[in-house]
Amino acid sequence: MPEPEAVIRALFADVLGVSDVGPGTHLLEAGGDLAAATRLAGRIRAELGVALPLREFLKEPTPEGVAARFGVPRRSSGPVAPPLPAADAAIHAEITDRLRRITPTFSADSTAEPVLLTGATGFVGAFVLAHLLARGRTVTALVRGGEPRRGELVRHLENLGLWQDGYAARLTVVDGDLAAPALGLDRATHDELAGTIGRIIHCAAWVNHVLPYPLLAAANAHSAASILELAVTRRRKPVTYVSTRGVLTPENYPPEAEIAAGPVVALPPEADGYGRSKAVAEAYFARAAELGAAVTVVRIPGVFGDRDRHQIQPGDAWWSWTKATVLTGRYPSSYDLPGNELTQAVPADVIAHVIVDLARPSGEPGCRFVNAVPNRVCSTRDFVAGLREAGLAVEPMDDREWHLAVGRLDVDDVWVAAVAGQVATQPGIDLPQRLPRFSADDDPAVSRAVDAAAISTPQDLAGYVRTLAGS
């Protein structure tokens, strides 16, 4: 039997919980469901390196149907899944090429305490930094501009209510650039960090939902190779990569499916530049075992501030759309529909706890995926009720008319005005949406933490809306 089909049959059997399957065993007819299909597609991708979009997999979910992608002769007729899109194939070839250039030089695991943190000047990164410092950890923050920007970083934490004077002695700031080779570190600094840090937490990204993938790739995607190289130089250091739920696109994950933790079954479409860039970074880290690296990829949901101070990210897409609602005094009429789900969100201090503590890498070579996304959702009705709870008077408006109205707002004040007109032309914008759910069995402690803290009620939202309205 050709080797790829043998591997595929073994994976089918394992997911179905049986000892063996035949070449024509149909996953769904044999007792599997959409959640099993999602897990199986992810495992095939991890084992054989071939992306298999879920919708294509479900056209013929049999071992021989999947094996046909590898050129294995078919025993019966039927549709053949299309080859990997040329653009995706080129990306995976580039990942392979960049990883081949990395030569691990570690002889032992690092026992050092300091943490190297990227993205501390961002919202989530600031909470991660505060969480580490509050627990007595020593942190080296990689910031473009280095030590001269230390004061700016401190003020950032002060503005969020997170800074304490006792933190200063345990914070070092070094100059770096994610988009540059070796993270923009000079050789001496790179060598020093390789021997003195004990863990890497990679939060940084160029968050932009308008730019195409090629403009985001260097900073968001290919920087993963530089992180992996640092992780396996001199001493091995575990890596935590902070990704996003946005890599799990509706094209590949139907909303009725329960999503298990694992590699993405396919890259997001080219039109989704940011999501695609984050998924490509995940694809690098998914191959950590090839270098002997230990990685955890943590996918996070929408992130609000903590429940005491109700901090927000004014530039975040969710809050930009919310500000558009506040300024127009209107909301899309589809928000009044029952069952219309809007967001899955968690306070930033809880997400920091997940990233630093609950999802800490085990130290074993390989990549662990953690979906830190709550199954408790905020509906559109709850969102509108939250606006009113915060004292705002808002009324419904036809969905397309509302998006066109948002498009007339000042882009400098509400950046989503730049894309609202395009959204208005999309089909189905006035239909209710259902958000995906996530398996609680993969990481029960993480699932309990994010579900317990999920921001989902009008009362939950009102404090944050007041912060927005007062900004």
Rounded Cα gap, residues 465 and 471, in angstroms: 10
Domain span(s) for CATH 1.10.1200.10 in the chain? 3-83
Q: Is the pLDDT of residue 11 over 50?
A: yes
CB contact set of 150 (below 8 Å; sequence gap of 6+): 171, 173
Give pLDDT tens digits for 369-409: 999 999 999 999 999 999 999 999 999 999 999 999 999 99
Most trustworthy range by pLDDT among 23-37, 43-57, 239-253, 371-385:
371-385
Average per-residue pLDDT for the chain: 90
Contact 270, 81 (CB under 8 A): no
pLDDT of 15 reads 83
Q: Is the pLDDT of residue 80 over 50?
A: no
Average of pLDDT values for 5-34?
Answer: 82
CB contact set of 6 (below 8 Å; sequence gap of 6+): none
Please state at what angle helix 34-48 crosses helix 3-16, rounded to 10 degrees. 150
Number of other CB atoms surrounding residue 251 within 10 Å: 14
Rounded Cα gap, residues 12 and 62, in angstroms: 8
Number of other CB atoms surrounding residue 187 within 10 Å: 8
Query: Strand runs (DSSP E) across 176-262, as ranges?
Result: 199-202, 239-244, 258-259
pLDDT of 71 reads 56
Contact 294, 361 (CB under 8 A): yes
Rounded Cα gap, residues 285 and 144, in angstroms: 23
Q: Is the pLDDT of residue 211 over 80?
A: yes
Average of pLDDT values for 118-145?
Answer: 97
Average of pLDDT values for 5-14?
Answer: 84
pLDDT of 441 reads 82
Query: Rounded to a whole number, what is the largest CA-CA distance in the chain?
Result: 71
Average of pLDDT values for 44-65?
Answer: 74
pLDDT of 77 reads 35
Q: Chain-centre distance of CA 60, in angstroms?
A: 29
pLDDT of 82 reads 43
Rounded Cα gap, residues 407 and 328, in angstroms: 11
Q: Is 49 left (phi over 0), alpha (psi -120 to 50) or beta?
A: left
Tallying the residues shown for the chain, one arrives at 471
Average of pLDDT values for 288-308?
Answer: 95
Confidence of residue 52 (pLDDT cuts 50, 70, 90): low
- β-pairing verdict for 366-371 and 437-438: unpaired
Closest by CA position to 296, among listed 245, 246, 355, 227? 355
Residue 313 parent element (H or E): none
Closest by CA position to 280, among listed 94, 412, 10? 94
Contact 228, 99 (CB under 8 A): yes
Confidence of residue 55 (pLDDT cuts 50, 70, 90): low
Residue type, 110: S
Confidence of residue 265 (pLDDT cuts 50, 70, 90): confident
Q: Is the pLDDT of residue 206 over 50?
A: yes
Closest by CA position to 300, among listed 235, 353, 339, 227? 353
- β-pairing verdict for 294-300 and 239-244: parallel
pLDDT of 36 reads 73
As a whole number of Å, the end-to-end CA separation of the chain is 65
Domain span(s) for CATH 3.40.50.720 in the chain? 100-303+347-371
Least confident of 72-76, 92-96, 115-119: 72-76
How many Cα atoms within 13 Å fall on the side-chain side of residue 396?
11
pLDDT of 50 reads 65
Which CATH code is given to the segment(s) 100-303+347-371? Answer: 3.40.50.720
Model's pTM, two decimal places?
Answer: 0.82
Measured in degrees and rounded to the nearest 5, phi and psi for residue 77 equal: -80, 160
Rounded Cα gap, residues 310 and 330, in angstroms: 23
Which top CATH class is 3-83?
mainly alpha
pLDDT of 51 reads 62
Q: What does the block give as tokens for 343?
A: 């967001």
Whose tokens are 């075992």? That residue is: 289
pLDDT of 289 reads 92
Average of pLDDT values for 27-40?
Answer: 75
pLDDT of 83 reads 53
Give pLDDT tens digits for 148-183: 999 999 999 999 999 999 999 999 999 999 999 999
Q: Is the pLDDT of residue 72 over 60?
A: no
The DSSP code sequence of 72-119 is PPPSS----PPPPPHHHHHHHHHHHHHHHT-----SSB-----EEEE-
Q: Is the pLDDT of residue 454 over 90?
A: yes
Percent of the chain surpassing pLDDT 70? 93
